[in-house]
């Protein structure tokens, strides 16, 4: 896949994201706030999963 096709594909994915979430109707500053909040929540979920899930897996997998 060359760079032009990759850029078009990424643009298409971003367009799909705008349509699915419905934020294409928002003002640009509202889109920025929405994207920031969404990114922050996803980052917190990933961080929490990386920190706490292994602890619980160890507790489950170790015998009493």
Nearest to 21 by CA among 9, 6, 38: 38
Q: Which domain holds residue 46?
A: 3-61
pLDDT tens for each residue of 6-59: 999 999 999 999 999 999 999 999 999 999 999 999 999 999 999 998 888 888
Q: At 20, phi and psi to the nearest 5?
A: -70, -40
pLDDT above 90 coverage of the chain, percent: 73
What is d(CA 40, CA 34) in angstroms, rounded to the nearest whole number? 10
Q: Is the pTM of this model over 0.85?
A: no
Mean pLDDT rounded to a whole number for the chain: 91
pLDDT tens for each residue of 23-38: 999 999 999 999 999 9
Which pLDDT value is given to residue 1? 64
């Amino acid at each position: 896949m060359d760079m032009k096709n990759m850029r078009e594909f990424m643009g298409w994915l971003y367009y799909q994201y705008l349509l699915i979430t419905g934020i294409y109707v928002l003002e640009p500053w509202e889109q920025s706030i929405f994207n920031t909040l969404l990114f922050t929540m996803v980052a917190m979920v990933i961080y929490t999963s990386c920190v706490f899930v292994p602890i619980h897996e160890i507790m489950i997998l170790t015998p009493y």
